[in-house]
Structure 1
């Protein structure tokens, strides 16, 4: 593909060869946000457009707010990798992927510039409006691939996106003391935690055993929704924040 008409009028086309058909004709109902995790933004962009990389995304947002579209939204970009959300194992077929130029954890978690976040907000709002993507399906790469991925990181301003009408959010409960659950523990409270994580969408088996997979899901949840402390320990703050998020969804609390 050498050229295409952009889906978002605020973007310029820069075609990547790395894409395919969406499986079973799926349309996107998930939005996945990434950071590039590389110190050089142009190098990251070049890699996403290099056939040898076998990776891509639909949109790339520069630090100055410039938006490029690499893959048409009708096509399946290769951005999420091995991933899972709410029973879906082919997240690429169900999603739009947005790469945000930021050095991320390897670069010491630099702040996202205001111009860049403003551009991300406008792009996300446009995508969710056109595709009717539910707020709780605006996700981090780390949400759909816990343990394996940590982007866009705990410094990403999910609260600001929510204030601008993008994504699902409640004010996280303050970090404090009290009972907590961690790797190696077992019992009904752990089973209840796993049930809540699974109901929200995370890839967690409800076994009652606080295993590495459960710890990874807790870390991913904290990174997105309780970023003040990301340690994989299910403390009162984490559990309360998760419960209030679920309670705000009709599927959990239809009344």
Structure 2
């Protein structure tokens, strides 16, 4: 692909051949954050630009905060894979994908540096303002693909982004004792939990059965919104944090 003008002024351009057209009338209304999960940022960037990989993102954020644009925002980058959010199954067509250079879980979840996170914040602010993307539509890959994906991981500082005006977040309720629900259980409280997760956007079947899919959705929620303990068990901390999160959405407040 030939060079193009960057949509984000602070980005330099390194074109990836891996992209396609967005469907007619579909505009991005999600910002989807990933970590690269590879040992080196150079290797990750090369992979996103290789025709062999068949993957890409709109943006790549280096560890030192440099931002590279790989695909024009008007084009459909290939980063979400099989995914779901709030009734939508073609997340690639509806999103701006941002890959953040970080080796992730395979390397023991190394910390994201301050310069890198500041760059992510500024990029998300710019995209959100230009494209009119709501805060609750700034998501992690694990949100739209529970079980299958775990990035950007439980060490990603969602709270810091929220303080800076990016994303939807509430202070997590501290982990403590009390009643909890886990895989294999069933009943009305589990149906209520599934309904709340579905209202927020997660892909979950409302059956009253605490299935593997429910466990995966709970773990994905914890990874983003209650990262102190990610175990897929719906304890009171998880449930109350979910209550608070829903109550602060404009459509439910």
TM bucket, shorter chain: over 0.9
Structure 2 distance, partners of 1:113, 1:98, is 16
Matches within 5 A, 1:172-187: 172-187=172-187
In the aligned structure 2, how far is the partner of 1:35 from the partner of 1:25?
A: 29
Residue 83 (structure 1) aligns with: 83
Give me the whole-angstrom Cα distance separating, in 2, the residues matched to 1:250 and 1:137: 13
Q: Distance in 2 between matches of 1:234 and 1:17?
A: 42
Give a deviation string over 1:94-116, Cα, whole Å, max 9, x none: 00000000000001100001000
Aligned to 1:151: 151
Match of 1:206 in 2: 206
Q: Which runs of 4+ in 1 moved over 6 A?
A: none
Find the aligned partners of 1:8 and 1:198 in 2 and give their Cα distance. 33
Shift of 1:25: 3.0
- Corresponding position of 1:110: 110
CA distance in 1, matches of 2:177, 2:130: 43
d(CA) in 2 for partners of 1:111, 1:218:
23
Following the alignment from structure 1 to structure 2, what is the Cα–Cα distance between the partners of residues 56 and 209? 37
1:16 aligns to what SS in structure 2?
coil
Deviation, structure 1 residue 2: 1.4
Alignment of 1:204-243 (within 5 A): 204-243=204-243
Aligned mates of 1:252, 1:199 — CA distance in 2: 10
Q: How many angstroms does 1:91 deviate by? A: 0.3
Q: Which moved more, 1:75-84 or 1:18-27?
A: 18-27
Spell out the pairing of 1:17-32 with structure 2 (5 A cutoff): 17-32=17-32
CA distance in 1, matches of 2:53, 2:79: 11
Residue by residue over 1:124-173, the C-alpha shift from the partner in whole angstroms, topping out at 9 and shown as x without a partner, is: 00000111111110000000000000000000000000000000000000
Unmatched 5+ residue regions in structure 1?
Answer: none
1:26 and 1:94 map into 2 onto residues whose CA distance is 7
TM-score (norm 1): 0.98
Deviations 1:50-104 (CA, angstroms, capped at 9, x unpaired): 0010000000000000000000000000000000000000000000000000000
TM normalised by structure 2 equals 0.99
- Following the alignment from structure 2 to structure 1, what is the Cα–Cα distance between the partners of residues 193 and 44? 37
